[in-house]
Chains A and B, each alone.
Chain A
Amino acid sequence: MTNLVAVDNKSHLNTKVDLSKVEQHGADLQLVPVVLSEFINLAVQYPIVLTKNGNTGQFVFSVMLGFEPCENLFWQQEQWQGLYVPLQIRRQPFFIAPSNQQENDNRHNNELTVCLNTESPSLSNDTGEALFDVCGQESKYFHEVKELLSQLLIGEKENNLLLKSLTLMDLIQPMSLDITFVNQSTTKLTGLYTIDQDKLGSLSNEQLITLHEMGLLPSIYTMIASLGQVHALIDLKNKRLN
């Protein structure tokens, strides 16, 4: 359940966020959208893939956390057992939305507001990090939350840049995984896409220089390298099955 309200220091003066419960938001996610700036951190544990948004059909960078809908193999004993937790999870229960434009002021048209999901299990009035101090000043914690949100906003732009180049140079290919687990059960994963390494290898010098100048090459190679983590993921699944 999601119910977003704008954060302000009157209604939320006493609101606290229990950090130990924030990661619950990812407990049953098989795929989590990610941004370029966190690729390096993610690749240490998760396969970074492309999937298609069900509503728009457009590509989304995601980390794969399981092999079936609602399966997050990193969620164990009510905790996220990973070295790095994606921004999309850590920013919970906060979102960014366009400001309400009740006042007819054009200057405010492009302004964004930080919102809070009032249905989040991490909210509390007693325990956790406060958003404001007693005087209504933003806490260090809330400041960090805003940093995360702005990292996601910038990340969105960088993602689009990479996606546009990958599409233009025809570097995306579908990826099909046929996996047999330790108990002999099998699964066939479709709807996943990755970098076409043959095409990447046959790019012209000109194209390569373009990718280099745009600073996109590290992300592309990080995506490729991260695919090895599929084996680690299978391993996690096998352990769960045993």
Chain B
Amino acid sequence: MSKPIKTVVVVGGGIAGWLTAGRLAAKHKAKDPNGVKVILVESPNIPIIGVGEGTWPTMRSTLIALGISETDFIRECEVSFKQGAKFAKWVDGSEDDFYYHPLVLPQGFGKGDLAAHWLAKENGASSTSFSNDVCFQEAICELGLAPKTIRTPEYADVANYAYHLDSVKFVAFLQKHCSNALGVIHILDNVTDINTCENGDIAAVVTLEQGDIEGDLFVDCTGFSSLLLGKHYQVPFKSCSDVLFVDTALTVQVPYENEHDDIASHTISTGQEAGWIWDIGLQHRRGVGYAYSSKYSSEEEARAVLAKYVGDKFASLTIRKIPIVSGHREKFWQNNCVAVGLSAGFLEPLEASALVLVELSAQMISEQLPQSRDIMDIVAKRFNETFFYRWEKIIDFLKLHYILSKRTDNAFWTDNRHSKSIPESLKESMALWQYRAPTDIDFASNNEVFPAASYQYVLYGMGFKSDYSQTAYALDDIDFAQRHFAQNKKITEKAISTLPKNRELINKVIEFGFNRI
């Protein structure tokens, strides 16, 4: 056997660094003398970016894998519940223009083609909202209700949910847990140089105070600077700015009027002249940001758009400007170095893909951590294939939101619909969906990120029509449709009558906590 993998060095102490170090330490028993040693080196001078404040439901399994109590997490990271996203003013920009991308799958999904019946407005489809007819989550989000009750065990749900969190507090929380409970060795020092072996592997990172820190695998979580994968290995960056035009974000933290104000239990994403504004409700404040394209809007114009959205309070708030260089590295794992987080790539936060990619990367690295150096290249090849596929699919899905818009108020929107800006893979799918709804057969890889249901919610939420006239027999299963539309109405009524307000539940979690069972 060649050199065994006994020490993993994570460079960077943001969410990506701690989640990766934590998953490795939990799975490979870093606390045990026979386990894998996990070291996290972090510069004391570099602030974290902290753009990721919305998660996917996957964060629940990530936290479980780290051995974290949901109650502690909610209490310490200003967490609120997120049940998907409400997209306002994306179709035509009018005041009543909105649709939902909820986290609960459509009724009977995978058992029949409910979308076909909904499109035909037959057999019990009653409203103009696809998501409202096939899923109960839009209704509870519109009422500001939580996805569970105080009696629901921790991490279990009534309606599928993710989180909104304060990323700075989340980093501090992860640091404490990973260091104290999981045995991650935390070193605060500046990395000044990299020592390499003959085969090009990294032998050690050189630090200012503590000298060489040697390791068998290095994880690059250095954010935009991409110190190891980008700067050292010079792995090229694959831009997708020709597909996704947003290149800048202006962000502000907006306090609530008073501490009892409702907290929205979904991300609100509102289309604007040259991009869109996110609005995320935490316990103590909202996080609001305008993601826009500097080609279609000056910073001054962008500030005015954000000011109008936020209202009177805007003048007193601190504005942060964050560059969004859309794209990803051509490879993520080179030699004995793998990049996780912003060092691997970044996209506009339209569907909260940043943290989920970190989680998926951390999961794959910890589950497939090679036992020895001689098999690492195989794992690296698989990792690169998997994540290249995932990045491309996410880019397709984000672009889908833009190509279905009918907005004409700014060239930002009309240019987004130019054929040359649309990836071939998305064009192919759209061609098929002219005649049928997206289903699992369109997403057959083991590495899918967004399920077919997500595509249905966006397509039909934005008014797209699949033309079933050639296959009218798809509507023959009338009983199936009637049953599921009726079932959805029943579940919606029950959910509305039993679920508490989002803020009310959060207050109860703070006071009493969830039970584990």
Contact = CB atoms under 8 A, between A and B. Distances in A.
Interface string A13-57: 000000000000000000000000000000000000000111111
Interface string B132-163: 00000000000000000111100000000000
B515 interface: yes
Please tell me the size bucket of the interface on B.
10 to 19
Given A56-B508, A57-B512, A191 B517 contact: no
Nearest to A174: B517
B148 to A, nearest CB: 10
B514 A173 contact: no
Interface in A123-179: 167, 170, 172-174
B517 A193 contact: yes
Contacts of B151: 52-54, 57, 191
Interface string B503-517: 000001001111111
Contacts of A191: 151
A52 B515 contact: yes
Given A52-B151, A191-B151, A57 B508 contact: yes
B517 A57 contact: no
Contact of B150 (A57, A167, A174, A193): A57
Residue among B152, B508, B517 with the highest chain A CB neighbour number at 10 A:
B517
Residue among B150, B151, B152, B511 with the highest chain A CB neighbour number at 10 A:
B151
Contacts of A202: none
Per DSSP, chain B at the interface is loop
A172 B515 CA distance: 10
Contacts of B513: 57
A158 to B, nearest CB: 20
B495 to A, nearest CB: 16
A57 B152 CA distance: 8
Contacts of A59: 515
B512 A56 contact: yes
B346 to A, nearest CB: 39
A54 B508 CA distance: 11
A58 interface: yes
Nearest to A196: B517
B150 A55 contact: yes
Interface string B11-41: 0000000000000000000000000000000
A95 B28 CA distance: 55
A98 to B, nearest CB: 19
A53 to B, nearest CB: 8
Interface string A51-77: 011111111000000000000000000
Contacts of A170: 516
B517 A173 contact: yes
A147 B425 CA distance: 78
A172 B514 CA distance: 14
B71 to A, nearest CB: 10
A58 B515 contact: yes
Interface string B106-142: 0000000000000000000000000000000000000
B119 to A, nearest CB: 36
Nearest to B509: A57
Nearest to B511: A56
Contacts of B150: 52, 54-57
Contacts of B152: 57
Contacts of A174: 517
B512 A58 contact: yes
Contacts of B512: 56-58
A57 B71 CA distance: 13
Interface string B480-517: 00000000000000000000000000001001111111
Residue among A52, A55, A57, A58 with the highest chain B CB neighbour number at 10 A:
A57
A57 B514 CA distance: 7
Contacts of A56: 150, 508, 511-512
Interface string A185-206: 0000001010000000000000
A207 B474 CA distance: 61
Nearest to B513: A57
Nearest to A51: B151
B510 to A, nearest CB: 12
A172 B149 contact: no
Contacts of A55: 150, 508
Nearest to B514: A57
Nearest to A193: B517
Nearest to A56: B512
Nearest to A52: B151
A97 B515 CA distance: 28
A170 B153 CA distance: 14
B141 to A, nearest CB: 22
A55 B511 CA distance: 11
28 contacts: A52-B150, A52-B515, A53-B151, A54-B149, A54-B150, A55-B150, A55-B508, A56-B150, A56-B508, A56-B511, A56-B512, A57-B149, A57-B151, A57-B152, A57-B512, A57-B513, A57-B514, A57-B515, A58-B512, A59-B515, A167-B515, A167-B516, A170-B516, A172-B517, A173-B517, A174-B517, A191-B151, A193-B517
Given A53-B151, A58-B512, 10 more contacts: A52-B150, A52-B151, A52-B515, A54-B150, A56-B150, A56-B508, A56-B511, A57-B151, A57-B152, A170-B516
Closest 4 CB pairs of A and B: A57-B150, A52-B151, A56-B512, A57-B151
